[in-house]
Amino acid sequence: MAEFKLRIRRYDPESGKPPYWDEHTVELEPHRSVLEGLLQAKGTTDGSIGVRCSCRAAICGSCGVRINGRPGLACHTHLDDAQYRAKDGVIEVEPMGNMPVIKDLIVDMDAVHWKKVQRVTPWLINKEPVPEREYIVPRESMIDVTQSMACIQCGACVSDCLTLEVDPLFVGPAALAKTYRFVGDPRDAAHEQRLKDLAEDPHGIYSCTHCFQCIEACPKGVAPMSQIMRLRRIAGSDFAINDRNNGYRHEHAYVENIRRNGLLHEADLLPDSYGGKFHPRAVPALLSSLPAISKALLRRKVTPAKALLHPHKAPDGVKRIYDIVEGRDERIELNLYITGTDEDNAEPVVAS
Ligand code: SF4
Ligand code: SF4
Ligand code: FES
């Protein structure tokens, strides 16, 4: 047995009082979970602590909280580990971010997370005609969607999503990972409609800023950002969906920019994304970016010479990479979630 100090963020919106920190000392074996610590504090010293849990085995997704500033499952975080990572030896537990607090550590998942999941039609729209018996699905296809199927809907990725912080309407990492679960499933009849819907939505697949936070946050290795990038690749490359948000053209401009310069030449990126400096679509975008451009010039993050000249030329090595990738008959999608090979007849192993 050892003593652990928990600093819990308390808040009751109905009380009219601001949030505050509340400390409790619990005595448990070090390998016990933060959830067990919270439940001991609730059971022995303060029954009013609001905390949600169910399975206590990292499978129901109920106990999502922030521990020492990072999102995670309280039932899947050992007390000794949490204490080691705490800045002053006191384990800090707060409610998840980007969702309103109902009480203490309980957030309103309905208001944000579930609403977004409902937005993406989270069920299979089956192909017709319905076979007399089961649909036969290639094994590789099911392996391909295993990663997105591993989601337990805990909301940790939603809590940490940087885009959601500035754009609450963003469909978000969990709902978009859920979308891949159906777009990657050959039994689903609505791949193109799903992708077109989320490409044309100004808060859809092209709103993700590629920040990796959801990959870091996810306790189940779903890697929502990777699923979003796969949705983009399928939307752009397989269905040629040229969306009104300029997402597809922006990605294309990015690829061409690196092909030309070897390094990203940012000054060209925006005009190229809109069809070139003098394209009618580019003018309003350039004008609206003037405040950001002026700030960058004032802070010497960019100089007029750097912006107008092309200091880099792509070396031959970069061109060779493009030739190899574009010379392939099929796009290679790496699913790093599954390891193992067919050759030795080994069953695929799901990485933990
Ligand atoms: S990678 Fe995209 S979806 Fe994931 S947290 Fe960052 S902005 Fe959100
Ligand atoms: S993707 Fe991961 S972090 Fe996000 S809800 Fe699912 S299990 Fe939780
Ligand atoms: S209580 Fe079910 S995931 Fe933690």
Token pair of 20 as six digits: 């505050």
Task: For the chain, give every domain's residue range.
Answer: 2-107, 110-239+343-350, 247-314
Regarding predicted confidence, which is higher, 307 or 41?
41
Best probe residue, ligand 2, of 154, 170, 227 (max atoms within 8 Å of C-beta): 154
The CATH number given to 2-107 is 3.10.20.30
d(CA 81, CA 33): 9
pLDDT of residue 203: 98
pLDDT bracket for residue 143 (50, 70, 90) = confident
* Domain range 110-239+343-350, CATH architecture: Orthogonal Bundle (1.10)
The per-residue pLDDT for 69 is: 96
Residue 340: pLDDT band with limits 50, 70, 90? low
> Atom 2 of ligand 2 has which residue's CA nearest to it?
218
Which ligand is the nearest neighbour of the Cα of 160? Answer: 1
Residue owning the nearest CA to atom 7 of ligand 2: 151
Ligand 3 nearest atom to the CA of residue 55, by list position: 2
Considering only CA atoms, which residue is closest to atom 1 of ligand 3?
56
Those residues with Cβ within 8 angstroms of residue 21's Cβ, 6 or more apart along the chain or in another chain: 7, 8, 9, 10
DSSP string, 127-138: -SSPPSSPPP--
Closest CA to 173 of 144, 208, 137: 208
162 in ligand 1 pocket by Cβ < 6 Å? yes
CB 223 within 8 A of CB 337: yes
pLDDT digits (tens, 9 = 90+) for 260-287: 889 888 888 888 888 777 787 778 877 8
Asked whether 63 lines ligand 2 (CB < 6 A), one says no
Total-model pTM: 0.89
- Residue pLDDT, tens place only, 104-125: 999 999 999 999 999 999 999 9
Model confidence band, residue 300 (pLDDT cutoffs 50, 70, 90): confident
> Is residue 307 over pLDDT 60?
yes
State residue 296's pLDDT score.
84
